[in-house]
Amino acid sequence: MQTVTFFGGWVRERRRELQLTQKKLARLLGCAPVTVQKIEEGHRRPSPLLAEGLAKHLEIEPQDLGRFLRLARAEPPVPRALPGRTLTPASSLPVAATALLGREQELALIKQKLLAGQPRLLTLTGPPGVGKTRLALQLGHELKEAFADGVRFVPLVSLDCPELVLPTVARSLGLSEGGSGLSARLQKHLRDQQTLLVLDNFEHLLEAAVGLSGLLEGCPGLRVLATSRQALRLYGEQEWPLEPLTLPGPSNPTANPAVRLLVERVQAFDPAFALDAHSAAAIAEIVTHLDGLPLALELAAGRLRYLSPGELATQLRMKPLAALGSGPRDWPQRQQTMAGAIAWSYERLEAPLRQVFRHLGVFVGGFDRAAATEVAGASRGDLEALLDAHLIRREGGRFHLLEILRAYALEQLSAEELEAARAAHLQHYLARLEAHPVEDMDWLEAEMGNLRTALRRVLERGEARLALRMLRQSYWFLEVRGYQREGLSWMREALALPGEVEPELRIHLLNRAATMAWQVGDFEPVDSWLDTALGLSQAEGLTHWEAHLLMHRGRVEIERGHYHAALRVLEEAIEASRREGSPNLIASTLLQLAYAQLLLGNLEAAGAFTQEGLEICREVGNSFWEALLLDIRAQLAIGRGEYAAARSDLLRALSLSEHSLLLTRVLVSLGEALGLAPEAGHEQVLQAARLWGAVEAEREARGLPFSVPDQARLTNSVGRAKTRASDLEWNLAWASGRSMSLREAVEYAHLLEREY
């Protein structure tokens, strides 16, 4: 089967097959021979009447008639083939050396749009190295049979002035690029054609976009697929921002497209390379460090020729751009290194905007507009310009730099600029932290990266007072969101610094550090910190701290499993608390007393302390202590066999606080209320297993071991419940729970509420 490259060529070949001359076919059609000649040479399209005549005299089969007529008039959708011939439209597409991975969804959606004819101009945009050109090439190859006159790939990267764009397009179409009236000649050539132009790397030639607009207006069959780091800003353009590949999650990283890309590129020079438990974690870390950027992953694959995945991951933590090295010799110069790819965009910014971009590099984990203005001097217009250039990203009310772009920005800062930017960053977050209420968890979570950076700088400068002030403002967040191990590390370092600190501030942080220490199971420094705090409070006459410190010492004894010792300390603490008269302090001490009495089996006393504490909490609106007291009351109810009452209290407790340790305690109790009830069915037992599995996974992930009493209680409850399900069912339910996040486990618990 012979291949021809356009409609006119097919007509010529079919005419010859039927042994017709141009003159004879012209007589049959009732037109001049020159008309047939121009059709065959591709210089004109037949009219509808002439197309019908061609179909008749070229003996087109009835089932092919509609497709033939559409092809003759270049109307979408274009047939993929005609009888007796394979039509392969003209094309100038480079052939990619490797398969495209991870872009299946974008490929399908963009193809659908271009085949439908709308938009006529689609621009792939995105940050350096995101794979715009590679996706455009793939689209061109998959669409080349859908455009009767072919797909033309027009690389623009080497052009240095906008006036060269149209001549370059003309050359790609086989037209003379010289002389006047080039735009008109291009329009005349393309007017009756169905062509897809792939214009690659338009971002430095945006002034030429107006000429492109003229071509689109005058050529109804023309479609343009452009790649650019900025939108062309033409009427009717659809911008398609291309995101980096999805990052791997904690489970099954081998199925992740970014991981697959990296592994396949490594296997190109090391066919034996395969992921195992050790290398999979390092490969996932590499992909995450590189934000899933395909170019960066390609460069990383080259480095794995000489380094193990673990070694490369370590280097990326320190100097990401240097760690990537350079790419193959036949790559474009600006893509030889990741720094070169970024520089292509950076160097096209105006000098003031380059300065803003550099200073934005000091932010870690994103920033809001106020921070950008104060730290980097960024105006609204600056941020919009950087967004347009895809050098920063916006998510909700926050802005982000991809990590590799942040590393580049930092490298461009001079030593003086870096010091000034870091100082401005520190002052901004110190002021913001002091102004924010400690309960504003979402803001603190969003700014964790910046707050860590600011605190690290304060500690490196040895500013004990400032470090302790920052920790005073953030300790509650660190506890609630499960960052106890990190918080303890910060507090240990800050408390060890010399320097003058207000006694009350030091007492406060010694107390919080002791609390975090027992929460992570590190009891060694607890007594020393509490003793130091108590001695300091007595020396300074800060007697109101005595009750706090005694209450916490009692809780430490509970966690150790020393219940009688705990009770003795807590009885002293409640007397001191009542003398102080603070409702919140009294309620928290009553909670610890109730818990100690429960563990000692003194259920009546435990109930009385619980009830008194609940009344105080509801009066003053302390939902955290109320939730913990409801958990105690639920445990008492379970002991009495009142499982429905226990479930009611526990579901209420789950809605009162998001404290991670509190939630895990309540979920353990809820599992007991579900799975240990005599009337519990098979499904309720498995529900308990799911909740307990989720608790186990959360505590493991956060490094928060169970206390002595909690571990004993859970072990006993699991042993009792497991007997009511098969091993397989139990293990599957437990594994299902372990796959849940803490938030998902709480949502699951609330869904169960509807069943009771």
* CATH number reported for the structural domain that contains residue 199 in this entry: 3.40.50.300
Q: What is the dihedral of CA 209, 215, 217, 220, to 10 degrees?
A: -130
Q: In this structure, what are the phi and psi dihedrals at residue 525, rounded to the nearest 5 degrees?
A: -85, -5
Residue pLDDT, tens place only, 522-538: 999 999 999 999 999 99
CB half-sphere exposure, 269, CA atoms < 13 A: 12
Is residue 78 pLDDT above 70, yes or no?
Answer: no
Q: Inform me whether the pLDDT recorded for 84 exceeds 60.
A: no
Task: Classify residue 332 by its DSSP letter.
Answer: -
User: Are residues 152 and 68 both part of a single domain?
Assistant: no
For residue 322, give both structure tokens. Answer: 């240097």
Query: For the residues 50-70, what does the mean pLDDT come to?
Result: 84
Mean pLDDT, range 19-43, rounded to an integer: 83
Q: How far is CA 391 from the centre of its chain?
A: 16
| 215 and 179 both lie in a single domain | yes
Residue 29 has pLDDT above 90, yes or no: no
Rounded Cα distance between 18 and 85, Å, is 14
Separation between Cα atoms, residue 431 and residue 436, nearest integer Å = 9
- Do both 117 and 230 map to the same domain? yes
- Residue 376's nearest CA partner among 320, 431, 423, 339 is 423
203/109 same-domain check: yes
CATH code, domain carrying 71: 1.10.260.40
Domain annotation covers residue 427? no
Phi and psi for 562 in degrees, rounded to 5?
-100, 80
Burial of 694 (0-12, 13-18, 19+ CB in 10 A): buried
The reported pLDDT for the residue numbered 691 is 97
Taking all residues of the chain, what is their mean pLDDT, rounded to a whole number?
Answer: 91
Residues 110 and 234 in one domain: yes
Encode pLDDT of 455-500 as tens digits. Answer: 999 999 999 999 999 999 999 999 999 999 999 999 999 999 999 9
Partners of 123 in beta bridges = 226, 239
pLDDT at 581 over 50: yes
Q: pLDDT tens, 544-564?
A: 899 999 999 999 999 999 999
Considering the domain architecture, whether residues 135 and 46 belong to the same structural domain is answered as no
Percent of the chain topping pLDDT 90: 74
CA distance 252 to 362: 33
743 DSSP assignment: H
Among residues 241, 269, 293, the one where a domain terminates is: 241
Least confident of 126-135, 294-303, 330-339, 534-543: 330-339
What distance in Å separates the CA atoms of residue 252 and residue 281, rounded to the nearest whole number?
10
273 and 221: one domain?
no
Query: How many structural domains comprise the chain?
Result: 5
Q: In angstroms, how far is the first alpha carbon of the chain from the final one?
A: 72
**In this structure, are strands 86-87 and 3-4 parallel, antiparallel, or unpaired?**
parallel
pLDDT band at 96 (very low <50, low <70, confident <90, very high): confident
Alpha helices in 181-308 (DSSP H): 182-190, 209-218, 257-267, 277-289, 294-303
Domain that holds residue 81: 3-85
The pLDDT of residue 71 is 75
Helix (H) or strand (E) holding 40: helix 33-41
In a domain, 730, yes or no: yes
User: Does residue 647 carry a pLDDT above 60?
Assistant: yes
Question: What is the mean predicted confidence (pLDDT) over 733-741?
Answer: 95
**Residues 70 and 122 reside in one and the same domain:** no
Residue 453 covered by a domain:
no
Same domain, 79 and 41: yes
Residue 668 and residue 704 share a domain: yes
Instruction: Classify residue 208 by its DSSP letter.
Output: G
Task: Give the dihedral sign, CA 301/303/308/312.
Answer: negative
More confident residue, 422 or 79: 422
pLDDT tens for each residue of 626-637: 999 999 999 999
227 shares its domain with 280: no
* Torsion of the alpha carbons at 355, 358, 360 and 363, rounded to the nearest 10: -150
pLDDT of residue 594: 98
Q: Which residues contact 360 (CB under 8 A, 6 or more apart)?
A: 367, 372, 375, 376, 378, 386, 392, 399, 401, 406, 409
Q: Give the residue among 636, 640, 582, 649 at the shortest CA–CA distance from 609.
A: 636
The pLDDT of residue 5 = 38
Q: Compute the distance between CA of residue 173 and CA of residue 170 in angstroms, rounded to an integer.
A: 5
- Span 84-88, mean pLDDT? 42
Q: Report the pLDDT value the prediction gives residue 31, as an integer from 0 to 100.
A: 83
- Cβ atoms within 10 Å of 477's Cβ, excluding its own: 21
Which is more confidently placed, 65 or 717? 717
Domain end, chosen from 85, 115, 146, is at 85
Nearest to 375 by CA among 296, 299, 430: 430
- pLDDT of amino acid 178: 66
Identify the pLDDT of residue 43. 67
> What's residue 287's pLDDT?
95
726 belongs to a structural domain:
yes
Asked whether residue 392 is domain-assigned, the answer is yes
Whether 54 and 149 map to the same domain: the answer is no
pLDDT tens digits, residue range 137-187?
A: 999 999 988 898 899 999 998 888 899 999 999 988 888 776 678 899 999
pLDDT (0 to 100) of residue 329: 74
Answer yes or no: is 248 within a domain: no
- Final residue before a domain boundary, out of 28, 58, 85: 85
Dihedral over alpha carbons 139, 144, 149, 155 (to 10 degrees): 40
Is residue 251's pLDDT more than 90?
A: no
- Percent of the chain exceeding pLDDT 70 equals 96
Tokens standing for residue 383: 């941020």
Residues in the chain: 756
- Does the residue 53 lie in any domain? yes
Distance of CA 296 to the CA centre of its chain: 17
Beta carbons within 10 angstroms of residue 590's beta carbon: 28
Confidence of residue 307 (pLDDT cuts 50, 70, 90): very high
Residue type, 470: M
**C-alpha Rg value of the chain to the nearest Å:** 35
Q: Is residue 412 part of a domain?
A: yes
Cβ proximity of 378 and 394 under 8 Å: no
pLDDT in tens, 378-432: 999 999 999 999 999 999 899 999 999 999 999 999 999 999 999 999 999 999 9
Going 353 to 359 to 362 to 363, the CA torsion angle's sign is: negative
Confidence check: pLDDT of 221 > 70: yes
Q: Which residues contact 109 (CB under 8 A, 6 or more apart)?
A: none
Place of tokens 């950008």: 372
Q: What is the pLDDT of residue 756?
A: 62
